[in-house]
Chain A
Amino acid sequence: MDRRRFLAGTAVVALLPFDRAAATPDAMAEAIRKVLGGAAVREERVKLDMPPLIENGNTVPLTVSVESPMTVGDYVKAIHVFNEKNPQPNVFTAKLSARNGKAIVGTRIKLGDSQKIVAIAETSDGKFWSASADVIVTLAACLEEST
């Protein structure tokens, strides 16, 4: 990381009002450990679609899609999304079944800073799959006070 980017980053962090409860990469790792329960996770089959450069951290479109036949014998059970630097590491958990036909979930999220987002999918055979995305946020969520 060059000096300019580091300084810009610290300026943003200094403005954030939620120091008291900031998630950290460690908190994210801990939240992920809880989901995995010691199981291995492979960076395959999951696709995490997000814009790499985000102008407004208040509404960031995010779509997670998992390669899966979505049959009764082989489907995606759950999709978890985590973040590194929002106040809490969890973003959402979606519960799926063969009834969904496609393992694709979309929503819009808030991001308080430039950070790494991780999506983890659990398939019906108990295996875990993941993908991650690094995003840059120019206007962070939560900075403005409500009026």
Chain B
Amino acid sequence: MANILVNAPKMAKRGDVIEIKALIMHPMETGFRPGPNGQIIPRNIIEHFTATWNDAEIFALEMSPAISANPFVSFFAVATESGTIRLRWTGDQGFAVEEQVAIAVE
């Protein structure tokens, strides 16, 4: 299973702008590199990242092979209501991983 690190505050005041950072372990193989046998290693990247807040999409990122291995992304969100921030990564070779963090908004 993929290793994921998510950094987001557990609590926020309503209306605060919070930063969410996420890191996921993934080779992000570009599909342009030869392997030890001289053959091109097939592309294996994460193409899409989405973040939802109580199931409403708040952020999406389309990635290319130019994104580093173990993709890191940081973005901001307005704290609107208590609930769940769900992060989802999908990509080549059927890659689909989800992580969620709870946030309390008062």
Q: Which residues of A contact B (CB under 8 A)?
A: 17-18, 21, 58-60, 63, 83, 86-88, 90-102, 104-111, 142, 145-147
The answer, yes or no, to whether B65 is at the interface (CB within 8 Å) is yes
Could you tell me the distance between the alpha carbons of A21 and B32 in the complex, rounded to whole angstroms? 8
- Residue numbers in B under 8 Å from A96 (CB-CB): 59, 75
Query: A106 near B73 (CB under 8 angstroms)?
Result: yes
Q: Is B94 an interface residue (CB 8 A)?
A: no
Is there an interface contact between A146 and B33, defined as CB atoms closer than 8 Å? yes
Check if B32 sits within 8 Å of A101, measured CB to CB: no
What's the count of A-B pairs with C-beta under 8 Å?
112
Contacts of A59 in B (CB 8 A): 68-69
Residue of A nearest to B23 (CB): A108
> Which of A63, A95, A104 is within 8 Å of B60, CB to CB?
A95
User: Which residue from chain B places its CB closest to the CB of A102 in the assembled complex?
Assistant: B76
Does the CB pair A99–B78 fall under 8 Å? yes
Which residues on A sit within 8 Å (CB–CB) of B41? 146
Majority DSSP secondary structure for residues of B touching A: strand
CA of A97 to CA of B51, assembled, Å? 12
B76 touches A88 (CB 8 A): no
Indicate with 1 or 0, residue by residue over B59-72, a CB within 8 angstroms of chain A CB atoms: 11111111111011
Q: Shortest distance in angstroms between B80's beta carbon and chain A's nearest beta carbon?
A: 8
Give the docked Cα–Cα distance between A108 and B58 (Å): 21
